[in-house]
Amino acid sequence: MPRASLPWILLIAVAMRVYAVLAWPSLLHPDENFQSLEQAHRLAFGYGVTPWEFHDGVRSLLIPWLLSRLFALLALFSAAPASYLLAAHLLLAALSLLTVVAAYGAGQQHSARHALIAGLVAATWFQIVNFADRSLSEAIAANFLIAAVALAGVPPARYSWRRLLWLGACLAMCVAIRTDLAPGALVVACWAGGLRVRQHWLPMLLGAVPVLLIFGICDWLTWGRPFHSYYALFDADLLHGVLAGQGTQPFSWLYIDLAARWGGAGLLLLGLLLLSLRRYPLWVLTAAAVFLIHSFIGHKEYRYVYPAVACLLIAAAMASVDLMEAMRQAWAGGRERTWTAALASGWLALSALLAIQPANAGDWTARADHIRLSFWLYGQPQLCGLMLYDYAWFNTGGYAYLHRRVPMYEWPDHSPAGQRRALDDGAANYILLKRASFGNFVPRYVLRQCDQDRGDETMCVAQRPGGCANRAGLPAVQ
């Protein structure tokens, strides 16, 4: 088995991530835009939607600020929003290669075959590829959690100060970016630290301090006091129940959702995870801690536990090599390369099959219609105001994708009287609406552009001639 397979695995990972970014531009969740890309646009260009989290200071501005520097730099070469957004997605996809390297390194502790299969799964599994370029805090933090598990999952004799310093830095990055992952990070820290305070906990702490200082200073400069966003988040979610107000699901919801996404393959993967408990318990325990804490939180979303899912997949990948070895020895036949190639092909085929199942297929194209029509609107020189008739602002691409400094309005009143007022309103000369609603605006408006045909649900843009009036009574989204 060749030991120089990492460059080839990284090449495959890069190819798949670049293809996914180019072929399926999408927004999996509103937070992917409005918690990062929109804020980066606002910092770079001076305008954008500011959701309540950034009014109340419950989110760190460090990542949006870093992305804003990238936006401003790319704007020097191209004014089109597609340019700086593509660069941001490619940058985040490049960061996700940390997961591939960490998985490969974890496997290398056991054999070259473990490294090959673990790295290949991290490079190609559909869920990991789908989250690779997401500007969601869970997706970014997952890279550092997985790196930390890989650093901690070595024999105690290999815990050098340098390794423990990096381990502390990765754990700090993970928790600073996504505080909900603190239970998983704590499992890793306790596994590595044990009872050795000076030998293990001290270097981990020294590695964590610079990272935490950076986030603390960023909050001080932006919100007025160190670590303000973390205090404010604790106050909003735990003391005032803001998160609970966004909906609740039963304790078992996350497990049912994951079972639906894995389908019949879930039994196979569950069996591999049971096997992995013996040789790779840290990966499973870390994932279990993340799943468990989110099971007790009423508001649940699949993206919250993506870092745990990635840990489970890496553990299952390494366990599959153990199973392959046992089968090969029991059947006393076959070359190692043949068995390894068959196992790798099986993982690739399983990932491809699950990626196109109904439970997962929609993730590749989520809100793609908003993206395409936002880019089209950017190129309309007559645009002076945009009315969101059938869509809430948080389900659009915001100004990050529109990149035009024009007012954007919501029109929630769809009663007959409200439709008449919308028709007579002069604040916007373009309307984003469903095809079924277009009849309410005939003949004053003309249908200019529609996305992929979905019948009455097709997203369209209508335009009327003329400019826009300044309507103080119609508050703009801001």
List the single range of 165-174, 235-244, 441-450 with lowest mean pLDDT: 235-244
CA distances (Å), origin 102, targets 143, 318, 460: 9, 13, 44
Alpha helices of 38-96 — where are they, by DSSP H?
A: 38-45, 52-56, 62-75, 81-95
pLDDT of residue 262 exceeding 90: yes
Q: Distance between CA 135 and CA 296 in Å, rounded?
A: 25
Q: Helix, strand or coil for residue 463?
A: strand
CA distances (Å), origin 387, targets 131, 167, 225, 230, 250: 31, 49, 38, 35, 37
pLDDT one-digit tens code per residue, 369-394: 999 999 999 999 999 999 999 998 98
pLDDT one-digit tens code per residue, 287-311: 999 999 999 988 899 999 999 999 9
Report the alpha-carbon angle 95-100-354, nearest 5.
Answer: 105
Secondary structure letter of residue 153 according to DSSP: S
User: What integer pLDDT is reported at residue 472 of this predicted model?
Assistant: 54
User: What integer pLDDT is reported at residue 410 of this predicted model?
Assistant: 87
pLDDT of residue 1 exceeding 50: no
List the single range of 1-10, 304-313, 345-354 with lowest mean pLDDT: 1-10
pLDDT one-digit tens code per residue, 107-120: 999 999 999 999 99
| Exposure letters 81-107 (e unless 16+ CB within 10 A, then b) | beebbbbbbbebbeebbbbbbbbbbbb
For residue 191 the two structure tokens come to 């596994």
User: What integer pLDDT is reported at residue 413 of this predicted model?
Assistant: 72
User: What integer pLDDT is reported at residue 268 of this predicted model?
Assistant: 94
User: What integer pLDDT is reported at residue 414 of this predicted model?
Assistant: 72
Comparing C-alpha atoms, which of 121, 114, 117 is closest to residue 99?
A: 121
**What pLDDT band is residue 473 in, cutting at 50, 70 and 90?**
low
Q: Distance between CA 6 and CA 19 in Å, rounded?
A: 20
Terminal-residue alpha carbon distance, the chain: 57
Secondary structure letter of residue 244 according to DSSP: G
Comparing C-alpha atoms, which of 317, 367, 272, 278 is closest to residue 127?
A: 317
Comparing C-alpha atoms, which of 111, 181, 197, 110 is closest to residue 147?
A: 181
Q: In what order do the strands lie in the sheet with 459-463?
A: 408-410, 386-388, 430-434, 459-463, 446-450
User: What integer pLDDT is reported at residue 443 of this predicted model?
Assistant: 86
User: What integer pLDDT is reported at residue 332 of this predicted model?
Assistant: 63
Backbone φ, ψ for residue 474 (5° rounding): -115, 95
Q: Of all residues in the chain, what percent are helix, strand and coil, respectively (each to 5)? A: 70, 5, 25
Mean pLDDT of 207-221: 96
The pTM of the full predicted model, rounded to 2 decimals, is 0.94
**What pLDDT band is residue 243 in, cutting at 50, 70 and 90?**
low
C-alpha count within 13 angstroms, C-beta hemisphere, residue 135: 30
